[in-house]
Amino acid sequence: MADSLYHPTTPEIAQHRKDLAPSIHDAFEAFSRAVFADGALPEQTKQLIAVAVAHTTQCPFCIRGHTRLAHRAGATDEQIMEAIWVAAEMRAGGAYAHSTLAIDVLEKQADRDRAS
């Protein structure tokens, strides 16, 4: 089996990570619980947002974890897939919006070519 870019997280690795910086680890865990707690947005909606963001950032651990948590919070398979499509549109939308940078370069080059 080929080595993976993403090493699997084991309980031993998780414990080692915690042992190296316990107070920061505990603060991160508390922050995460607070972020995903019901508030102005219900947990299910927050988990669907996390699924979309995870697909945009392309973090395989986040994709797996937040997909599982969204489903556990009551999101349907269809809702999860729609969140993924939102991520795909936003990522594609970013490329479309940033195309103005390339168009600007092309227009300036065309102006230089005409001037010479």
Whole-number pLDDT of residue 4 = 74
CB 83 within 8 A of CB 51: yes
Is residue 60 pLDDT above 50, yes or no? yes
CB 50 within 8 A of CB 62: yes
pLDDT band at 1 (very low <50, low <70, confident <90, very high): very low
Q: Sketch out the chain's domains with CATH numbers.
A: 40-115 (1.20.1290.10)
Q: Cα separation of 27 and 21, whole Å?
A: 10
